[in-house]
Structure 1
Amino acid sequence: MRKIGVFGGTLDPIHIGHTHLIVEAKRHFDLDEVIIVPAFQSPHKADRPIHESDRLKMIERATKDLDFISIDMFELEHKGKSYTYDTMCYLKEKFPNDTLYFIMGEDQFHAFDRWYKHEELLEIAQFIVLKRTMEETNITAPFLTATVPIIEVSSSEIRKRIGNDDYYSHLVHKNVFDYIKEHELYE
């Protein structure tokens, strides 16, 4: 039985904070693999992200040196808003003998009770909450937790900086920066 981490989101664009969380989750919970599942569109956001083919290429570039990562196209292929419940049901069927661990940040934990079928989700997978070292949040079972340094960066901040012709190269992987520049994304 393998331990498979699952990391989702629109990743528009993927940045160093995302890959940092993935690596820390693997380290702290001894995960065998982490599957990134890019969302077609988040159910909590009205804005449509850039085209999925561009996001997918940036994810591939950002993770090419992390041999334990794979990408699953489930949410991109099903279009529309992506619900974690549907994705986790699909992954549980795909990996019936493995244990799934959904990786989330502390911000997602605070909104968990508003997720679609959140109680049923707890029966399908384990949930890893990566806490910020400076905040006091009481995270208890069934949630697993680890305190890791968090890199404060957001995709929306990166998009805003690009639109304002401001510095952002230090917030994304070099390969992602090159892709954004080459394809003039978010301008």
Structure 2
Amino acid sequence: MKIGIFGGTFNPIHLGHVNAIGEAKMHFDLDKVIVIPAAQSPHKTDKPIKDSDRVEMIKRATKYLDFVEIDSLELERSGVSYTYDTMLELMKRHVGAELYFIMGEDQYNSFDKWHNYEELLELANFIVLRRSGSNIRIDKPFLEKETRVFEVSSSEIRKRIKLEQQYSHLLNEQVYTYIKEHNLYEEK
């Protein structure tokens, strides 16, 4: 079985994330993709909103992707989330499966700063989704696929919400509705 692993804070999950999940599944013939929300990214200082809100938005954004599972193992562990620790746990849970960690160019460019990054490369395959037209060079053992990437970030969405600017086109409709109903990311 080929299992994709897609992690992040998803604060909030947006169309760029959902696109990456679908593109990786299609281009690498993955049987399923496990989405893993991080309790706290080691590379970000912002504290995400409540875990339950982020998980609910992930559920809504991936509702029609029958190959997606959500695993809250990093939330249950709490604290800073290291991919190395997560991959060790996933190897125990999915014995015999081929694991494929899905990332973008930005994560690839900082990979040498990841916790135990050299050992991490021995635990799984790593897929880098490159922007169309990008001239970044992806070195082996990383796998790569040039794909259309939605130029959107969760931090940009949070900023637009605070500034009361348009952002609905960057999210799944159900995620947008959830944010509005729960007044998420608004200045208190």
Relative to the length of structure 2, the TM-score reads: 0.98
CA distance in 2 between partners of 1:94 and 1:142 (Å): 24
Partner of 1:93: 92
Partner of 1:140: 139
CA distance in 2 between partners of 1:138 and 1:66 (Å): 31
CA distance in 1 between partners of 2:42 and 2:113 (Å): 11
Q: What CA deviation, in whole Å up to 9, does each residue of 1:108-159 have, x standing for no partner? A: 0000000000011111000000001121111121100000011000000000
CA distance in 2 between partners of 1:131 and 1:16 (Å): 16
CA distance in 1 between partners of 2:19 and 2:32 (Å): 15
Q: Does 1:51 align with 2:84?
A: no
Partner of 1:39: 38
Partner of 1:73: 72
CA distance in 2 between partners of 1:21 and 1:45 (Å): 20
- Find the residue that maps to 1:89 and give its secondary structure: helix
CA distance in 2 between partners of 1:52 and 1:115 (Å): 23
- Size of the aligned set, in residue pairs, is 186
State, as a whole percentage, how many aligned pairs show the same letter: 59
- Find the residue that maps to 2:122 and give its secondary structure: helix
- Find the residue that maps to 1:25 and give its secondary structure: helix
CA distance in 2 between partners of 1:172 and 1:125 (Å): 30
CA distance in 1 between partners of 2:103 and 2:147 (Å): 12
Partner of 1:130: 129
Residue 96 of structure 1, CA deviation: 1.3
Partner of 2:181: 182
Q: What CA deviation, in whole Å up to 9, does each residue of 1:86-105 have, x standing for no partner? A: 00000011111100000000
Partner of 1:112: 111
Partner of 1:10: 9
- Find the residue that maps to 1:146 and give its secondary structure: strand
Q: Which amino acid aligns with 2:40?
A: Q
CA distance in 1 between partners of 2:44 and 2:97 (Å): 31
- Find the residue that maps to 1:147 and give its secondary structure: strand
- Runs ≥4 in structure 1, deviation > 3 angstroms? none
Relative to the length of structure 1, the TM-score reads: 0.98
